Structures are given as structure tokens and as C-alpha cells.
Amino acid sequence: MSIYLDQAATSFPKPAAVCRAMNRMVTRIGANPGRSEHKLARKANQIISETREKIALLFNISEARRVIFTCNATEAINLGLKGTLSPGDHVITSSVEHNSVIRPLKALERAGVQFSQVPCSRQGHLNLRLLKKSIGRKTKLIVLTHASNVIGSLLPIEEVGAFAHSRGILFLVDAAQTAGLVPIDVQRMHIDLLASPGHKSLYGPQGTGFLYISQEVELKPLKEGGTGTDSESYEQPEALPQRFESGTLNTPGIAGLGAGVSFVLDQGVERIWKKEQLLTQRLLKGLKKIKGIRLYGPLEAGKRVPVISFNLNFLEPVEVGFILDDLYDILVRTGLHCAPQAHRTMGTFPNGAVRVSLGFFNTPEDVDALLRALSEITRTRR
């Protein structure tokens, strides 16, 4: 069986309960939530509500209705940015953001929104002093990734949240690499908007995600349509979550997401985080011993998520990925990882890097197999 080390793209395998929950929804319930009053529709609606409540519990969200289901983190970020910002507003972000942040900001810039990128170090560390100096009279929002999907570095979300709150500035966090892995408390961290995919460290299926919207945010919907409520009105409902959930939800996916969140709650985020840190430290220690490897990002597991990028001095990243796949059955990701700004910050643009990302179901044996393969590659290909 392949050794899967591309967890930052999507987690695999999923807990067995995720597959069971989706299968039950498709084969035994199947109805459209919130559109009918019969018992199957009520059961479907109950699954949606229970998943919303589990997410609220995991992130210390006071009202579950403030959890809005989306098809991924990208949609959640677009809703958070485009629903909040207007021409003339100013936004601050970092130089290690994913295209799911940069591309919507570029589109908003063409519509009259201004944004500034605070440079991070080559190791992905955010300079808080520079961030604070970037604040202007029209600054309405700070948007940051919690952890770089390329460098792996953790950004100081709690400190930024406290500062933004003290200045009356809204704070949007992209938790694509941390939700379910690193403890997140939206109230303690003063997070106004939290965007997350369901298919990474929450162990749900692809095509799921959510946006948390705090009471401090007045948000415009990205779309209007049928919600199953206020059907007599031509206007979009004001009530949450229906205001932002037009159209039929991905109920089988949300059922799977609910099972994935239950898995995280049962295991405990702290236990998951500790296990993945141990794997990360094992990999970092081994990579540092292999000659010809350029390693990027923090060298301490506690300062990063288990996303590790590197290059070999004598091979292009895509060649390394192909050899690992073809000869060793080890699956990694190469290239720019939808984050060219992060690669510019890291000094690996335009060729990118080899990215290894670990997960809860990986083992020390997986790490050791990768290290043996890279050692062989460096000996034979140099």
C-alpha cells in the first residue's frame, strides 16, 4: 500500500465512522434537510444541526447558528472577505498566504479595496511590529493563515487577535492547516471570522467546509436563493445560518464531517497535536542528517505544523516527487502549492519545493521509509 504523505492537501485515510455516516445518509435517509416536514427530512436536518453543534463545541463558538457550511475553505474565505469589505477599505495580510486569500484580495483591489502584505522571514515568522505599523485609518480587516501550507510555520494568531480587537479591526483566520490539529478558541483568540475546510484535519470528505461569523461582523451574502424558510418573501432571510446557506447543502458530506469532528473531539486536539509533533520532530531530525537537502521553515516541531518543505541540490522538485512515487510508492506534493507568495518568501520561486505533510494516521515507519528513500536518492543521483 502507498505511503501517503500529502495530508496538507487532504487527510487520508479517514476514520471508518466518516464512511459509515455518509453511507447511512445516502442509503437510509437521503432526504433534503429543511425542505419538508416528513421524518426523513427531519432526520437529515438533525444531522446538519448536530454537526454544526459539534463544530461550535470544538472551537468554543457560543452560538452554533453562527457556523455557516460552505463547500471548502476557499468559499468560506471569499464569503468572509467579499461579504465584509467595500471600496475604500484597507486590509492587512502576510507574505505567506495561500491563493485562496490572495486571489480574492486581488479581485477586491480592482474594485477599490486596498491591501498590504506584511513580509515574513524566510522561516515564515511574522513580524508583529511591521504588522502594527501597517495599520491605517481605513484598515477594516486583518486576514492571516494560522499556519503556512508551504513553510509550515505557525503565525501568532492569539497576539494578532488581541491587537486587532483592541483597535476595533476585524480578524479573519484561515485555519486550513490547523483546524482539528492545533487548539483554536475563537473567543479567547478574538477571531471574528474563522474559515476551515472539512477534509483536512477535521477528517471529513472533500467538498465540505465552514465559516464562523462572530456577532461583531455584518456580512453580505455571496448568493441568494431558496433556504426552506420565509418562502413567501422575495428577499434573502436575515436569520442565521439560512442567510448564507442558499440551495441544498451537501448533506452526505456534512454527515461525514460530523463524524470526523466527533473523532477529533473523542481523541482530543491536544493528543492529536502531540502525536503529529513527534512525527514532525522525527522527520526533521532525519532530514538534517541527509547531505544535499535544503530544509525550509522552523526546525523545532512546536513552532510548525507537520508540513515540511525541502529541496535536493541536484534534482528539481518534480523529479524528486516522481522518483518517490514511481520507485518507492511514497506520495508527496511538489511545485508551488497554490502559494507563490510563500515560495517567494522562502526563496524557492519559481520552481517550488518538495512538500511532505504528515497526519494522525501516519506512523514512525512511514517517516523512516521516506528518510531511507531520500538517502538512497541522494547517493545514487548525485
Point out the residues that are catalytic: 338
Rounded Cα gap, residues 343 and 206, in angstroms: 26
Rounded Cα gap, residues 303 and 327, in angstroms: 32
Rounded Cα gap, residues 34 and 14, in angstroms: 28
Rounded Cα gap, residues 369 and 367, in angstroms: 5
Nearest to 164, CA basis, from 185, 140, 186 = 140
Q: What is the DSSP letter of 118?
A: E
* Alpha carbon distances (Å) from 79 to 75, 242, 243, 326: 6, 14, 12, 40
Rounded Cα gap, residues 78 and 58, in angstroms: 23
Rounded Cα gap, residues 90 and 77, in angstroms: 16
Nearest to 254, CA basis, from 9, 11, 18 = 18
Rounded Cα gap, residues 8 and 66, in angstroms: 26
Residue the block writes with cell 508540513: 307
Helices marked H in 83-191 — which ranges? Answer: 99-110, 128-133, 157-167
Rounded Cα gap, residues 139 and 141, in angstroms: 6
